[in-house]
Chains A and B, each alone.
Chain A
Amino acid sequence: AQSVTQPDIHITVSEGASLELRCNYSYGATPYLFWYVQSPGQGLQLLLKYFSGDTLVQGIKGFEAEFKRSQSSFNLRKPSVHWSDAAEYFCAVGSLAAGNKLTFGGGTRVLVKP
């Protein structure tokens, strides 16, 4: 069965500093991977996705993620964090099986210090 692990429950970063969120997945074949962001009391917004090809993918809001098959990882990065990036971030893996189901990690909450 597929699974996603986000090892960091909380991360605090200073505004202007770089950010990296970790995501490890378990999946038998080539995975479809996604990063979503959620502001408090809101739904999830897609930041970026990886299906195939270039292992470094660019997303919205200045985020990027790198797929590393050898490490089963899909870490999310941003070079310079803004206060508006404070939110919860979810990594997810998509299934080729019927239903296009997503399996989500437990999320990482990012706090931004002024």
Chain B
Amino acid sequence: DGGITQSPKYLFRKEGQNVTLSCEQNLNHDAMYWYRQDPGQGLRLIYYSQIVNDFQKGDIAEGYSVSREKKESFPLTVTSAQKNPTAFYLCASSISGTRGNQPQHFGDGTRLSIL
């Protein structure tokens, strides 16, 4: 079955620590996205990548970093500079990153908490 796999499902971070959230897709989609979800605030875009070896900042990129070395993978690192990282993180992909009429498909998310 094609889809998006996020791991781990739950993650705990200590103060001053960087953590990396994994996102893998086997849909052969060009574009991938990372969102942060907080209660009552909907989804906010952190980073997105239209194609391999390219990525752009979203609305709330400070304290986060990404890489896109392979088409199927788009890991997100939450750095120690992100002072309020507790949230639900969702990864998504779409067939194309250059056409606005493509729906995004989502993984099941990673819940990050501070120890």
Contact = CB atoms under 8 A, between A and B. Distances in A.
Interface of A: 9, 32, 34, 36, 41-46, 49, 51, 90, 94-102, 104-107
Contact of B43 (A41, A97, A104): A104
B42 A105 contact: yes
B106 A43 contact: yes
A102 B97 contact: no
Interface of B: 4, 6, 31, 33, 40-45, 48, 50, 56, 58, 90, 92, 94, 96-109, 111
- Main DSSP-derived SS at the A contact region: loop
B109 A41 contact: yes
Given A44-B106, A101-B58, A90 B42 contact: yes
Contact of A43 (B31, B45, B108): B108
A93 B13 CA distance: 33
A100 B90 contact: no
Contacts of A90: 42-43
7 contacts: A43-B108, A46-B105, A100-B100, A101-B33, A101-B48, A104-B43, A107-B42
